[in-house]
């Protein structure tokens, strides 16, 4: 028996005739491995942590932005503390990332090495849907490899594709291409992708919302108001359920959210 067969490997032929290696794994292997946690007990217990290769969509509330920014610091923790000891890439589609708030949280979470914590968050801004699509499809995979990042955040992802001056059909096609590329990057590079849409409300007929919900692994809708009520709308192993997020945020962030 060949050595490759002993390791569960075989090969497939591409259309060009090229041999493509395939690595089979057991179901137990898929369920193991490091997980990333938000740091909120109820949320983490219910979702079970985020696995490498997963794509998550949060929408419905400004709390989406808060959770995504705090996750950029959580991912830097050691695995024993719920992190992945990794950098984060934050693609800011809504021009909402504010380093001041991140610095406040970093000062509480990383009082000794705050500068290092901030240096491990890489931010890129996109101002049009074409810029966002180009970056995600052409540049992001290489950046993930070179930066050794295990977390990608796409902030306010849908809004850029709703340009009133653009053709909606073309914008929707671009949005699907972008979403599919994110999923491919997550799977191939074994990273976690988190897309947010804080201003998006529940709408069964919205084509953009339908497109991303159909493609991602986890969908979490957050509702405005006290208590940060959340609804898990989609999950590979858990049923739809409503619960409350109790994430403790820095005082400056809490005051900012209340002020809104």
The answer as to whether 42 is a domain residue is yes
151, 36 Cβ separation under 8 angstroms: yes
Burial per residue of 8-33, b for 16 or more beta-carbon CB atoms within 10 angstroms, e otherwise:
eeeeeeeeeeeeeeeeeeeeeeeeee
83, 74 Cβ separation under 8 angstroms: yes
Instruction: Classify residue 176 as exposed, middle or buried by CB count within 10 Å of its CB (0-12, 13-18, 19+).
Output: middle
The answer as to whether 187 is a domain residue is yes
Q: How far is CA 46 from CA 32, 42, 52, 153, in A?
A: 17, 6, 18, 21
124, 135 Cβ separation under 8 angstroms: yes
The answer as to whether 65 is a domain residue is yes
The answer as to whether 55 is a domain residue is yes
Please, which residues bridge with residue 57 across strands? 195, 219
114, 102 Cβ separation under 8 angstroms: no
Which residue has 């090969």 as its token pair?
11
**Do the strands 35-36 and 50-51 form a parallel or antiparallel pair, or are they unpaired?**
antiparallel
- List the end-to-end C-alpha distance of the chain, in Å, as a whole number: 66
The answer as to whether 135 is a domain residue is yes
Reported as half-sphere exposure (CB side, CA atoms, 13 A), residue 150 has a value of 19
Q: Beta-strand (E) ranges in 67-109?
A: 87-92
The CATH number covering residue 122 comes to: 3.40.50.300
pLDDT at 244: 76
pLDDT at 146: 94
The answer as to whether 9 is a domain residue is no
The answer as to whether 70 is a domain residue is yes
Q: What angle do CA 127, 133, 135 make, to 5 degrees?
A: 80
pLDDT at 184: 97
Helix or strand holding residue 73 (H, E): helix 63-74
pLDDT at 99: 81
220, 44 Cβ separation under 8 angstroms: no
State the total domains in the chain.
1
pLDDT at 14: 41
The answer as to whether 220 is a domain residue is yes
| Residue ranges making up the domain that contains 77 | 32-259
Q: Each residue's pLDDT tens digit in the chain (260 positions)?
A: 444 333 333 333 444 344 444 444 444 444 457 899 988 887 888 888 999 999 999 999 888 988 898 899 889 988 988 899 999 999 999 888 878 878 887 787 767 667 788 889 999 999 999 999 999 999 999 999 999 999 999 999 999 999 888 899 999 999 999 999 999 999 999 999 999 999 887 777 899 999 999 999 999 999 876 567 888 999 998 888 887 776 545 443 344 333 44
Q: Is the dihedral of CA 219, 223, 224, 227 positive or negative?
A: negative
């Amino acid at each position: 028996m060949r050595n490759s067969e002993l390791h569960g490997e075989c090969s497939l032929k591409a259309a060009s005739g090229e041999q493509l290696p395939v690595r089979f794994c057991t179901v137990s292997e898929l369920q193991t491995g490091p997980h990333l946690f938000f740091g909120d007990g109820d949320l983490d217990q219910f979702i079970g942590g985020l696995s490498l290769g997963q794509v998550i969509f949060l929408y419905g509330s400004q709390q989406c932005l808060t959770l995504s920014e705090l996750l950029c610091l959580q991912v830097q923790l050691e695995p024993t503390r719920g992190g992945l000891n990794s950098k984060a890439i934050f693609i800011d589609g809504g021009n909402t990332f504010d380093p001041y708030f991140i610095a406040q949280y970093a000062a509480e979470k990383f009082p000794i090495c705050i500068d290092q914590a901030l240096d491990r968050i890489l931010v890129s801004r996109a101002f049009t849907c074409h810029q966002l699509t180009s970056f995600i499809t052409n540049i992001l995979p290489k950046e993930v490899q070179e930066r050794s990042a295990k977390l990608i955040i796409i902030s306010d992802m849908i809004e850029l594709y709703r340009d009133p001056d653009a053709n909606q059909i073309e914008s929707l096609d671009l949005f699907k291409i972008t979403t599919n590329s994110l999923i491919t990057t997550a799977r191939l590079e074994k990273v976690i992708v988190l897309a947010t849409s804080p201003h998006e409300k529940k709408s069964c007929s919205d084509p953009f919302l339908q497109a991303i919900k159909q493609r991602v692994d986890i969908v979490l809708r957050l509702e405005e108001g006290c208590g940060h009520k959340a609804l898990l709308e989609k999950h590979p192993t858990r049923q739809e359920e409503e619960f409350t997020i109790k994430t403790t945020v820095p005082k400056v962030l809490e005051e900012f959210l209340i002020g809104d």
